[in-house]
Amino acid sequence: MLGAWEYLVKHPEKLAGWALEHLWIILVAITIAIILGVIVGIYITGRGKEHMADTVLYLAEIMMTVPSLALFGLLMLLLTSVGLKAIGFLPAVIALIIYGQLPILRNTYMAIRGVDPAMIEAGKGMGMTERQLLVKVKLPLAVPVIMAGLRNAIVIIIGIAAIAALIGAGGLGAPIFRGLRNARMDLIILGGVSVSILALLVDAFMNQVERWVTPEGLKRR
Amino acid sequence: MRRRVILIGLLMLLVGLTIWITNLEWIKEGVYKPFTWGDIMSATISHLEMVVIAELIAISIGVPLGILVTRPGLRRLATPVVGGVGVGQTIPSLAVIAIMAPLLGFGLNSAIVALFIYGLLPIVRNSYAGINNIDSAIVEAARGMGMTRGQIARKIELPLALPVIMTGIRISTVITVGTAELAVLVGGKGLGLITLTGVFSMQPLTILQGAAPTAALAITLGFILERIENSMTSRGLKVKAAMA
Amino acid sequence: MMIKLDLVTKVYPDGTEAVKEVSFEVEAGELCVLLGPSGCGKTTTMKMINRLIPITGGKIYINGGDSTKMNENELRRNIGYAIQDIGLFPHMTVGQNIGTVPSLKGWPKAERNKRAEELLELVGMNSGEFIDKYPSELSGGQCQRVGVARALGADPPILLMDEPFGAIDPITRVRLQDEFLKIQQDIKKTIIFVTHDIYEAIKMGDKVALMKEGQLVQYDTPANLLYRPKNEFVEDFVGADRALKGLQLIRVKEVMTSSLPTVKADEKAEAARERMEQEGIDWLVVVNDDGKFLGWVGKAELGKGELVKEVMNSSAITVTVNTVLNEALSLMLSSGANNLPVVSKDNRLQGVLSFDIIRKALTEVSQRRQSE
Ligand SMILES: Nc1ncnc2c1ncn2[C@@H]1O[C@H](COP(=O)(O)OP(=O)(O)O)[C@@H](O)[C@H]1O
Ligand SMILES: [Mg+2]
């Protein structure tokens, strides 16, 4: 513990660098994951797509059980075979996008399917088109649930981003792995504690955001 | 049906990948240490061993803990326990595993302790929720009919909570199979040894030799536990789920 | 006497005084309604009877015995319990739900099944169709019926029912009320029935205990509650005026019983007794040879003389077919008579109006009002 503190005092810029790397990679990944997750999530709620929705959701569910190292391995293989860089930022971001969009996709789908049919009926009764119905009724009602999925996704990919340091993506996993390889306990503690703090802070922040975006009328208590 | 096809397809893909890689001639004659069928088999067994030990401990502690904090005398402890579980689940698995090195040193025990701790969380959470979320009218009706505390626990609360508890155990097991790969870093054994050899030598094929069987193992265990969960769930609860 | 509350008081641990020195008695076979606005302590009072809520002052006697001295679970197994939220066990079939208390009492399986079948039929459900269904496969009304059947499971002498029809749509509710009253005529349980609905109270109750802020304000028959309210609170709560207005719209001829056994004043008392036994009643209207109304004769008085005219009660209190019901009712209440003869201008007997008929009319009026 003491060693980690000394290291931090001596090299604050190193920790800052790892943390920024970590934040950057999850920021890029989550941005793309939101777009992808929400679009696919909305798309499969469409009429006549029930079978597709079932397939996609089941695949998403199974994918969540596939360990991240397996996905890293597959991505490295694929990227090498198409001649792209197989280590570092690219495979890490792709893996994070894949894992990150699953909870978002699932929640988007559930939330939109879960909108009270009476409200949809009311909307239709007022003469809304399918698109207006989606934008004016379904999405606003679904936002809190989608945000919960987003929060879930971010927590998951912060953890996976730490593992991605193994394939050279940097971030707060880097000191952990270096510490483990060289039995440098100070580095292990520094990395482990700071990535945990990062996850808890982001989670708390997302919790707050979730409250902000929940329409007043939908808030419980 | 479609789900079964997806499941089997995915499993075949993962196993096929492993077979294909292991049988590649150039891997056998490659510059780095190639892994044989025997290696993969024994790694799978020791992987399973580690997971089973950690899970058994997690279940035998997590289920009683989650249930106990719903009891009247111990309800005070529910908030800290559930809150602690929430915080624990936010902390990345890598951090939990790595921190074992300074705490307990390197070795199989450190690995199992890390897996146990991380695996404990979903089990405690679901055991608590399974009991706590039972409609209070149901328990009151049981009390009003003259059931003793023990009868209510045995005949009403446990059967109603069982599916939720089983879900917790399934989630925990599936997560632990994946996390166990990283547990190699603090002295664990199993398929993670193969995967990490691949990672450190930057050989995607070797990574997959360890990771693909791991994924297959996670999916298979998840499937088996889901079936068990299903067979333990009263039809009365399933009908409800089907109508919801 | 079956249930007796003696200065029963409940102070919750947080200091809320939910029930204050409430005393009343419920006779065996009587249906007693606990009535009052939300939060007045009805549920608390009821749950103290089966000790789901511990009493903090006073005593409750069941069949003369101090309830706190009894084994709590034994006590509950002999008191049927049905609540608004029903609380059917979702993992058990309808049959298993109904068999819960019998199984706690160690009845053999065959007997439990037989009992479940009987009870399902009793509450108007086809036992073959429903006994193996799960609660999630039933409609709300069906769940409510199963809840009542379950409360009757081990044939307990006492039933506690907390707004048992509260969560049901008005039409089904009326049907369940009617059916339950019919069942109660056969099973004659001692029942405590909680409701906040004055109309339900009038319809269901032999007695009504009206509560306000934890205190018992009036414990009386529905009729007295309506037409002899003890104070302004009772009057406001039962809305006697409104109910009366409804009765003003109905005339005696619309509801009276017109075919009724009579006896002539000159007949022998023995003849009157035979007729009573034939008809299964214990009173007859006495008329003269022209069919004009003279009075009443009751079974108890028959032995006092040889001829009917020697033992009859002559009475001049009558109504006509065009009397409105609220007037008839106040006449009834002021005279203490449960039945009024309906006569023509020349005093010829045309029918009889009973209190039960008025009560039924009142319920119908109020339910019509509710559904409007
Ligand atoms: N467990 C409790 N602790 C404190 N106060 C309670 C509790 N249960 C009920 N009360 C209070 O006691 C009063 C009577 O409640 P209750 O018997 O449920 O009324 P009712 O059934 O007539 O609506 C209310 O003011 C209620 O808030
Ligand atoms: Mg109540």
pLDDT, one tens digit per residue, over A62-93 is 888 888 999 998 899 899 888 888 888 999 99
Question: What pLDDT, on the 0 to 100 scale, is given for residue A136?
Answer: 83
Q: How many CB atoms lie within 10 A of CB B27?
A: 17
Question: Does residue B55 register a pLDDT over 60?
Answer: yes
Instruction: Supply the pTM of this predicted model.
Output: 0.81
Q: Is C18 in the pocket of ligand 1 (CB under 6 A)?
A: yes
Read off the pLDDT of residues C121-160 as tens digits, 9 standing for 90 and up. Answer: 988 899 999 999 999 999 888 998 999 999 999 999 999 9
**B161-175, C231-245, C284-298: which has the minimum mean pLDDT?**
C231-245
B214, A69: Cβ pair inside 8 Å? yes
d(CA B117, CA B114) in angstroms, rounded, equals 5
Q: Is C39 in the pocket of ligand 1 (CB under 6 A)?
A: yes
Gap from CA of C39 to ligand 1 centroid (Å): 6
Q: How many CB atoms lie within 10 A of CB C336?
A: 7
Ramachandran angles phi, psi of C27, nearest 5°: -75, 155
Minimum-distance ligand 1 atom for the alpha carbon of C14: 4
- Domains annotated for chain C, with CATH where assigned, are 3-243 (3.40.50.300), 253-363 (3.10.580.10)
Question: What pLDDT, on the 0 to 100 scale, is given for residue C325?
Answer: 84
Which residues in chain C touch residue B142, judged by CB atoms under 8 angstroms apart?
87, 89, 100
CB of B145 within 8 Å of any CB in chain C? yes
Q: Of C14, C43, C237, which is best to mutate to test ligand 1, by the most ligand atoms within 8 angstroms of its C-beta?
A: C43
- Looking at mean pLDDT, say which of A122-126, A205-209, B199-203, C8-12 comes out highest: C8-12
Identify which has the larger pLDDT, C176 or B33: C176
**A38-42, A61-65, B177-181, C368-372: which has the minimum mean pLDDT?**
C368-372
d(CA C149, CA C151) in angstroms, rounded, equals 5
Which residues in chain B touch residue A72, judged by CB atoms under 8 angstroms apart?
199, 207, 211
Residues from A contacting B (CB-CB < 8 Å) are 51, 54-55, 58-59, 62, 65-70, 72-74, 76-77, 80, 86-87, 155, 158-159, 162-163, 166-167, 173, 176-177, 179-180, 183, 185, 188-189, 191-193, 195-196, 199-200, 203
Cβ contacts below 8 Å, chain B against chain C, sum to 81
Question: Does residue A11 register a pLDDT over 90?
Answer: no
Question: What pLDDT, on the 0 to 100 scale, is given for residue B243?
Answer: 45
Residue B71, sorted as left (phi over 0), alpha (psi -120 to 50) or beta, turns out to be beta
SS3 C19: strand
Strands (E), A33-148: none
Indicate the pLDDT class of residue C364, thresholds 50, 70 and 90. confident
Name every residue whose Cβ is closer than 8 Å to that of residue A196 and which is 6 or more positions away in sequence: B90, B91, B92, B95
Question: Does residue A8 register a pLDDT over 90?
Answer: no
* Domain boundaries defined on chain B: 2-18+46-243
Q: Exposed, middle or buried: residue C71 (CB in 10 Å: 0-12, 13-18, 19+)?
A: exposed
Minimum-distance ligand 1 atom for the alpha carbon of C41: 17
Name every residue whose Cβ is closer than 8 Å to that of residue C199 and which is 6 or more positions away in sequence: C363, C366, C367, C370
Question: What pLDDT, on the 0 to 100 scale, is given for residue A117?
Answer: 81
Question: Does residue B244 register a pLDDT over 50?
Answer: no
- Residue bearing the CA closest to ligand 1, atom 10: C18
Whether the Cβ atoms of residue C66 and residue C42 lie closer than 8 Å to each other: no
Question: What pLDDT, on the 0 to 100 scale, is given for residue B32?
Answer: 63
What architecture is the A17-215 domain classified under in CATH? Orthogonal Bundle (1.10)
Question: Does residue A215 register a pLDDT over 90?
Answer: no
Length of chain C: 372
d(CA C286, CA C298) in angstroms, rounded, equals 10
Q: Is C308 in the pocket of ligand 1 (CB under 6 A)?
A: no
Question: What pLDDT, on the 0 to 100 scale, is given for residue C153?
Answer: 92
Gap from CA of C161 to ligand 2 centroid (Å): 11
CB of B237 within 8 Å of any CB in chain C? yes
Containing B214, the helix (H) or strand (E) segment is: helix B204-232
Comparing alpha-carbon positions, the chain A residue that sits nearest to B207 is A73
Identify which has the larger pLDDT, C347 or C33: C33
Q: Please state, in angstroms and as integers, the Cα–Cα distance from residue A90 to each residue in A31, A47, A72, C125, C349, following that order.
A: 15, 36, 10, 66, 103
| Cα-Cα-Cα-Cα dihedral sign, residues B214, B218, B224, B228 | positive
Domain spanning B2-18+46-243, CATH class: mainly alpha
Question: Does residue B240 register a pLDDT over 80?
Answer: no
Contact flag for A and C (3+ C-beta pairs < 8 Å): no
Indicate the pLDDT class of residue A127, thresholds 50, 70 and 90. confident
Helices (H), B69-107: 78-90, 93-98, 100-104
Q: Please state, in angstroms and as integers, the Cα–Cα distance from residue B151 to each residue in B72, B164, C101, C147, C227, following that order.
A: 16, 20, 12, 20, 49
Identify which has the larger pLDDT, C209 or A183: C209
Alpha carbon of residue B73 to chain centroid: 30
**A61-65, B161-165, B181-185: which has the minimum mean pLDDT?**
A61-65
Comparing alpha-carbon positions, the chain C residue that sits nearest to B241 is C136
d(CA C372, CA C363) in angstroms, rounded, equals 14
CB of B160 within 8 Å of any CB in chain C? yes
Question: What pLDDT, on the 0 to 100 scale, is given for residue A221?
Answer: 46
Whether the Cβ atoms of residue B222 and residue B176 lie closer than 8 Å to each other: no
Read off the pLDDT of residues C292-326 as tens digits, 9 standing for 90 and up. Answer: 888 888 887 887 888 888 888 887 788 888 888 87
CA R_g for chain B? 21
Q: Is C41 in the pocket of ligand 1 (CB under 6 A)?
A: yes
Question: What pLDDT, on the 0 to 100 scale, is given for residue A1?
Answer: 65
Identify which ligand lies nearest to the alpha carbon of C34: 1
Average pLDDT of chain C?
Answer: 87
pLDDT, mean of residues B238-244: 56
Question: What pLDDT, on the 0 to 100 scale, is given for residue B134?
Answer: 95
Cβ contacts below 8 Å, chain A against chain B, sum to 134
| Residue C205, min C-alpha distance to chain B (Å) | 23
CB-nearest to C83 from B137, B160, B237 is B137
